[in-house]
Amino acid sequence: MNHQEIAKQLVEHLGGADNVVSATHCATRLRLVIEDESQINKEAIEDLDEVKGAFLSSGQFQVIFGTGTVNKVFAHFGPLVGANSEEKKENVSHSDAAKRKMNPLARFARTLSNIFVPIIPAIVASGMLMGLLGLMNTYNWVDPESALFMMLDMFSSAAFIILPILIGYSAAKEFGGNPYLGAVIGGIMTHPALLNPWGLSNAQPETLDFFGFGVEMLGYQGTVIPVLLTVYLMSKIEKALRKVIPNVVDLLLTPFLTVILTGFIALLVIGPLGRGLGNGITMVLDFVYGTAGPVAGLIFGGLYSTIVLTGVHHSFHAIEAELLVNVGGNYLLPIWAMANVAQGGATLAVFVKTKIQKTKSIALPAAVSAFLGITEPAIFGVNLRYRRPFIGAMIGGALGGAYVVFTQVMANGIGITGIPMFAIAKDPVNYGIGFLIALSGAFIATLLLGWKEDPKE
């Protein structure tokens, strides 16, 4: 079956072109917003050539084709459903259309994901530089007082120092505000006049008397929650001002008043409250991590894949970024990594044992994808389809999660798991052992649990 024919049959099994509200694609999957999901013939779609799985998540029906194939299918599918038609999309972006189909919790998680995903490359780069510096220091490769070491140290910390500016830009874009005004708000909260908490040591910030209000001149370098809350308010203020300010002076007055009003509120109210909220979340997590120890890793590693099914895991990026600053490392990411690796281990077991050729053709690349940190093909294309392999993956994830917590493995960044996480793991040896535990645990558990296959297949 050629790609054009696949696209035509896919439209038919989705309930027709009119049932597709919006369509786009990522590296491996078609992402579709469907008007009436009851009209979808999921089994028929999964039986199509090149289809590796299909699932409903985060307000979208997603069809897995794999890298390269998805582009070729979408080239024919897009015109059939009017994916590039403004009339078809009703002037609403695909992201907005998807959000309309989500529950409030999933919508909140997706919003946080949209804010943090664009920033991840900067944090990953900084995390890898921190790992390199750690190796240099541990094995005395370079003198810590040398120009090379000091310059690399600058490079590694820059992303965290200006993190509020990066978040300000990305958050304003997501909240419908001017992204450059969002960056300005982030700049205000990291202004050189404010004492940088990264180098606070025993220094005490100055307190200004602002009409009876004490304003502590302490910066928000590296913080997450304060700038998120502030930029959300900024976007609301900007939209409200644009409704009342005449168009002829909008370009002058709206940015002026937005920055002034938001700046005062940020330093007087939201900033201190957001800092307290961020510190509170960190303290609670530290308490659970320090008290429950490996048990916490066992539970979180086992349950993470079920959280992925809800889409709520997208909200974890904000918490992980807060941990990086307040704790000096991300101890949640290694746990999530174990769960992802375990999905690959379970899928690998299916590949070894199954007698169905199409399942074999899906399972091997899906397992490799999971080992590289992308689990959707493994979860939805194989493990959930046969159910018991998903349980086997949960067992492997729990075992691996318990080990990385027991050995206190941390990461220098967010967003990447599996094999790529070796680059940002603070303890690559124990991370590697946990990797093998999760993989082999899921592989063995899946073989022991077994699964039923349709004889017709």
Q: What is the pLDDT of residues 197-240, one digit of tens each?
A: 765 556 677 888 888 888 888 888 878 899 999 999 999 999 99
User: For 278-301, how does the pLDDT look when each residue is reduced to its tens digit (9 = 90+)?
Assistant: 888 888 888 888 888 899 999 999
- From residue 267, how far is each of 4, 31, 222, 257, 403 by CA, in Å? 57, 41, 16, 16, 42
Sign (positive or negative) of CA dihedral 385, 389, 395, 400? negative
Amino acid letter, 161: I
Structure tokens at 310: 């809800």
pLDDT band at 13 (very low <50, low <70, confident <90, very high): very high
Structure tokens at 145: 């007082």
Cα 97 to chain centroid, rounded = 20
Looking at residues 110-133, what average pLDDT do you find? 85
What is the SS3 string spanning 89-116?
A: HCCCCHHHHHHHCCCHHHHHHHHHHHHH
- Residue 21 is given by DSSP the state E
User: For 312-352, how does the pLDDT look when each residue is reduced to its tens digit (9 = 90+)?
Assistant: 777 788 888 888 877 888 999 999 999 999 999 999 999 99
Which pLDDT belongs to residue 327?
A: 82
Structure tokens at 273: 């409250």
The DSSP bridge partners found for residue 61 are 32, 56
- Mean per-residue pLDDT over the chain, rounded: 87
pLDDT band at 89 (very low <50, low <70, confident <90, very high): very low
**Most confident by average pLDDT, 93-102, 199-208, 273-282, 439-448:** 439-448
The DSSP bridge partners found for residue 53 are 64
Amino acid letter, 170: S
Predicted structure pTM score = 0.76
pLDDT band at 91 (very low <50, low <70, confident <90, very high): very low
CA distance 273 to 353: 55
**Which of the following is catalytic: 1, 5, 26, 105?**
26
User: For 384-401, how does the pLDDT look when each residue is reduced to its tens digit (9 = 90+)?
Assistant: 888 899 999 999 999 999
Q: 26 an active-site residue? A: yes
Which pLDDT belongs to residue 85?
A: 46
Residue located via tokens 């794999």: 66
- Asked whether the predicted pLDDT for residue 57 surpasses 90, the reply is no
Buried b (16+ CB within 10 A) or exposed e, 65-91: bbeebbebbbebbbebbbbeeeeebee
Which pLDDT belongs to residue 92?
A: 56
User: Terminal CA-to-CA distance of the chain, rounded, Å?
Assistant: 18
CB 434 within 8 A of CB 400: yes
CA distance 238 to 254: 7
- Asked whether the predicted pLDDT for residue 255 surpasses 60, the reply is yes
CB 339 within 8 A of CB 305: yes
- Asked whether the predicted pLDDT for residue 429 surpasses 90, the reply is yes
User: For 64-77, how does the pLDDT look when each residue is reduced to its tens digit (9 = 90+)?
Assistant: 887 788 899 999 99
Which pLDDT belongs to residue 88?
A: 47
The strand pair at 29-34 and 20-25 is best described as antiparallel
Write down the domain spans for the chain.
3-101, 162-289, 294-449
CA distance 366 to 364: 5
The CATH homologous superfamily of the domain defined by 3-101: Glucose permease domain IIB (3.30.1360.60)
Q: Which of 248, 237, 327, 235 is nearest to 281 (CA)?
A: 327
Amino acid letter, 145: E
Which pLDDT belongs to residue 25?
A: 87
Per-residue DSSP letters for 328-375?
A: SSBSSHHHHHHHHHHHHHHHHHHHHH---HHHHHHHHHHHHHHHTT--
- Asked whether the predicted pLDDT for residue 258 surpasses 70, the reply is yes
CB 230 within 8 A of CB 174: no
Structure tokens at 249: 């002076």
- How many CB atoms lie under 10 A from the CB of residue 340? 27
Helix (H, G, I), strand (E, B) or coil at 227: helix
CB 228 within 8 A of CB 318: yes
Give the list of residues 6+ apart from residue 21 with CB closer than 8 angstroms, or none. 33, 34, 35, 89, 97
- Asked whether the predicted pLDDT for residue 93 surpasses 60, the reply is yes
